[in-house]
Structure 1
Amino acid sequence: MLTRGDDYPIHQTPEPIAYAGSDRNFYDRYFFNGYSPDGSEFVAVAFGVYPALNVADAHVSIIRGNVQRCLHASRVLGMERMELSVGPVRIEVIEPLQKLKVILARAEGLACELTFEGRAFPIEEPRFTRRNGPRMFMDYTRLTQNVRVSGWIEVDGERSPVGAGWTGTRDRSWGIRPVGAPDAQPTPGGGLAGFFWQWTPINFDDRSVFFHVNADPDGKAWNTRAVILPDGAKAEGGVHSDRPRMEDVTLRQGTRHAERGTLRIPVEGGEAEVRLEPMGYPFLMRGIGYGGEWRHGALKGELAVGREDIDLASVDMAAPENWHIQAISHATLTAPGEPERRGIGVFEQLIAGPYKPYGL
């Protein structure tokens, strides 16, 4: 099965690009978010292809006021992985690893045209590999890059510019994650005991701070990293630490969402400290396909497009479908010998099952 990708020198196996190994859960995904300087407006995008499922999907979700408006699109992939569009959503790679554009042609009352331009060379996070019993649960690589965002967003006929002061984050990940419909037959010894995830890409005026942690239910980290990256840094630039700590976390009453946290990163001369304070309503990740009816890789037919509006003021934040969030957050950075800096970013959280350090 030859496709457009076969005319580019990007093969990783002896097979045509249409084939991605033998695991049905292989995926290849783009993620973007962007937010206004005061955090009052937020947009996020997910775009994925699932070669073994022969499905592609895309999601654009916008918060204005207390409503999260979501545009979902899904189609049959047709084994053509170089076609970066699903219905009204299109990705343009203007300059690889530096500048990309997301276009949502007007659909269901929503539209946007957004350019994401990197502030430094992307970081490569440690490879995520995790088994549940005999089954591979995760095995993927991810690059992450903080960005400046420009363009416009339209919601129900009201268009607003995106420009001065807008920042955000984009990432690219590929490999194996659970996608599509779950297996009908459970695997003895393959159950998930729990899943703990925090991710905090933060934008300051002249630098970015990245942190992530996956941990066992008892709090032992199995994948973690923090990076402090000055604007314009090249590959391997910045300060990297495999010993960061997220401390002083308190959860909002009755939820699994943190209302504050303090990130500590070992640096020369001591520790850098980032205090995170979520503000407003959290962004629900199901709005861009992380669970729900429009979950990543779900087969919806030849082409399906739909809108979903979520009233963030009334939704049950304690419900399992709302555990996975990105909380737009104020951030304060202090580091040895440097003045205090204030920034903005997201505090992504997913706590599924027990987590002893938080009493869950």
Structure 2
Amino acid sequence: MLTKGDDYPIHQTPEPIAYSGSDRNFYDRYFFNGYSPDGSEFVAVAFGVYPALNVADAHVSIIRDGVQRCLHASRILGMERMDLMVGPVRIEVIEPLQTLKVTLERAEGLAIELTFEGRSFPIEEPRFTRRNGPRMFMDYTRLTQNVRVSGWTEVDGDRRATGAGWTGTRDRSWGIRPVGAPDTQATPGAGLAGFFWQWTPLNFADTSVFFHVNADTEGKPWNTRAVILPDGADADGGWHSDAPRMEEVTLKRATRHALGGTLKIPLVQGEASVRIEPKGVFLMRGIGYGGDWRHGGLKGELAVAREDIDLATVDMAAPENWHIQAISTAVMSQPNAPEQRGVGVFEQLIAGPYRPYGLG
């Protein structure tokens, strides 16, 4: 059960706050994204604390004119998990499980002030638990919430208001994932054959759609869920399915990124179909998912740096660019209901073989 305390980075186990424990790879993280109604402007934020590593870090990325501009910040945590600030980046929990604010004070030419207001009560995804041989690879809980976004972003002196119709998604996850520097000693019997992940939070006029799947190399899901959630829904609202399918996926040549896909969600009255068409790409390494600024990496007392990525020239086939969010339009059809059009992201990470897509 989700409670207001789950919006603060004070978890000690993959369970909600009532339970406690410890692990070297324990983390507690915020994620936010926001985008214009046509998907042409995009911003994303990650903020994490790593209690056993005594590190906190934050990342902000803004896409404009085909360039992803990233601000990275890292500091020593100092054992205090309630200080939601890393250098120029600050998180404010205005109303737990409903409204949060992110501020990037101007640094390296970048700044933001954005408020994320939930469209409904957040969903609690099924707990993610996966072993890698004898080692726990993942064990975490995540809440996810689609949001309306207000405020502004600034790049090199050009400040732009988000304007009407900006939406997005934010999540909170806590538990165990690989963080910080990798272990130097190999573990006999632990060899991750592959990792397959898709995640598609989508915003429609008065409805949110969520889908995720983790699958093995043969395509068998080990964690999946789809939710259709009307605005204003409470903790028990919406339609939840444990048997969704992502079909009609074709990969872009020489990459591991989909040109599109059709999400199928079983309903009592038939089936919902959501056609997803990517329009742009956001590289997840820009907010700490891999690269030189990977989550939990020790950078010293305080470090702040900017990174600009030209999305037109970057090698999308390179392993550091496998993990993306594709900014996408979506069209949803349901039995006895009018067609709906929306916008969202199609997050993808395929590492290693995945036989349904012909990846060896």
Q: CA deviation at 1:22?
A: 3.1
Q: Provide the secondary structure at the position in 1 that maps to 2:259.
A: strand
Alpha-carbon distance between aligned partners in 1 of 2:136 and 2:322, rounded to the nearest angstrom:
23
Q: CA deviation at 1:108?
A: 0.1
Alpha-carbon distance between aligned partners in 2 of 1:286 and 1:11, rounded to the nearest angstrom:
25
Encode CA deviations 1:219-241: one digit per residue, 9 max, x unaligned: 00000000000000000100000
Alpha-carbon distance between aligned partners in 1 of 2:169 and 2:44, rounded to the nearest angstrom:
9
Q: CA deviation at 1:163?
A: 2.8
Q: CA deviation at 1:11?
A: 8.1
Partner of 1:290: 289
In the alignment, is the contact (CA less than 8 A) between 2:209 and 2:228 conserved in 1?
A: yes
Partner of 2:67: 67
Q: CA deviation at 1:12?
A: 6.6
Partner of 1:239: 239
Partner of 2:24: 24
* Mapping for residues 1-360 of structure 1, pairs under 5 Å: 21-280=21-280, 282-360=281-359
In the alignment, is the contact (CA less than 8 A) between 2:12 and 2:175 conserved in 1?
A: no
Alpha-carbon distance between aligned partners in 2 of 1:22 and 1:94, rounded to the nearest angstrom:
28
Matched AA of 1:154 = E
In the alignment, is the contact (CA less than 8 A) between 1:90 and 1:103 conserved in 2?
A: yes
Matched AA of 1:127 = R
Stretches of structure 1 that go unaligned for 5 or more consecutive residues are: none
In the alignment, is the contact (CA less than 8 A) between 1:20 and 1:51 conserved in 2?
A: no
Q: CA deviation at 1:154?
A: 0.4
Q: CA deviation at 1:189?
A: 1.0
Alpha-carbon distance between aligned partners in 2 of 1:177 and 1:221, rounded to the nearest angstrom:
19
Change (3 A) 1:156 1:26: same
Alpha-carbon distance between aligned partners in 2 of 1:184 and 1:205, rounded to the nearest angstrom:
49
Runs of at least 4 residues off by over 2 Å? 10-13, 19-22
Alpha-carbon distance between aligned partners in 1 of 2:172 and 2:195, rounded to the nearest angstrom:
21
Stretches of structure 2 that go unaligned for 5 or more consecutive residues are: none
Change (3 A) 1:177 1:308: same
Q: Provide the secondary structure at the position in 1 that maps to 2:260.
A: strand
Give the number of aligned pairs.
Answer: 348
Alpha-carbon distance between aligned partners in 2 of 1:98 and 1:22, rounded to the nearest angstrom:
28
In the alignment, is the contact (CA less than 8 A) between 1:59 and 1:71 conserved in 2?
A: yes
Alpha-carbon distance between aligned partners in 2 of 1:64 and 1:49, rounded to the nearest angstrom:
28
Matched AA of 2:138 = M
Alpha-carbon distance between aligned partners in 2 of 1:113 and 1:315, rounded to the nearest angstrom:
28
Identity among equivalent positions (%) equals 84
Alpha-carbon distance between aligned partners in 2 of 1:184 and 1:345, rounded to the nearest angstrom:
38
Encode CA deviations 1:157-210: one digit per residue, 9 max, x unaligned: 000001301000000000000000000001011111000000000000010000
Change (3 A) 1:321 1:130: same
Q: CA RMSD in A?
A: 1.5
Matched AA of 2:349 = L
Q: Provide the secondary structure at the position in 1 that maps to 2:249.
A: strand
In the alignment, is the contact (CA less than 8 A) between 1:84 and 1:91 conserved in 2?
A: yes
Matched AA of 1:273 = S
Matched AA of 1:41 = E
Q: Provide the secondary structure at the position in 2 that maps to 1:310.
A: strand
Alpha-carbon distance between aligned partners in 2 of 1:36 and 1:53, rounded to the nearest angstrom:
37
In the alignment, is the contact (CA less than 8 A) between 1:20 and 1:26 conserved in 2?
A: no
